[in-house]
Amino acid sequence: MSESAESPPIDYIQRTRDQYDSLGYPPYSWFHSDSQAPFAPLQKPLNECRVGLIASGGIYQHGQIAFHYKDDISYRVIDTRTTNDALRATHFAYDLTDARQDPNVVFPLETLRQCVTQGMIGSLGPQAYTFMGGIYSTRKVVNILAPALADRVQKDEVDVVLLVPV
């Protein structure tokens, strides 16, 4: 019997609520919008695409300032040639043990480089972006953080962006 058949699925919404409750924060309010982004099919095969990376796991590069407070809407720019040993993790809302051992669990930069080598994707954008998820202010995410990151990946001229939530 496979592991997935033995284990029930994880209820991530309840898990997130429980995590925030245990930290003493107000109940987490999920963002909901009635508007939908239009479907945008790729214009070329994935193995010809330039791929961008945006992740919310609180990864930063040695020498950069760590994320340090709830509702931190700053982001870090990480050159996609950066090695795992130069990456660090900080976050207030998840157990960092695995991310500190192997940043790829929340910031799959090395995995994406392997995908380039194997011909699964064409190339990586020159920079990847990371921030510390768990931001309570939907307004700040919608009006400040998301537009700034969208602007960055557009300037990087990527064809598709992998979003990695925590």
User: Amino acid identity of 92?
Assistant: F
Residue 110 located in a structural domain = yes
| Cα–Cα dist 7/2, whole Å | 9
- Answer whether 130's CB lies under 8 Å from 54's CB: yes
35: in domain: no
Specify if 107 maps to a domain: yes
Query: Does the residue 6 lie in any domain?
Result: no
Please give the pLDDT value at position 28. Answer: 66
The answer to whether residue 15 sits within a structural domain is no
Mark residue 71 as left, alpha or beta (left: phi above 0; alpha: psi -120 to 50; beta: remaining): left
In a domain, 143, yes or no: yes
> How do residues 96-126 score in pLDDT, each as one tens digit?
899 999 999 999 999 999 999 999 999 999 9
75: in domain: yes
pLDDT by residue (tens digit) across 60-94? 999 999 998 777 899 999 999 999 999 999 988 77
Q: Print the domain residue range for 90.
A: 47-164
Number of domains in the chain: 1
Residue 21 lies in a domain: no
Is it the case that residue 137 has pLDDT exceeding 70?
yes
Q: Which of 155, 161, 164, 145 is nearest to 50 (CA)?
A: 161
User: What pLDDT is recorded for position 5?
Assistant: 61
Task: Calculate mean pLDDT across residues 33-52.
Answer: 90
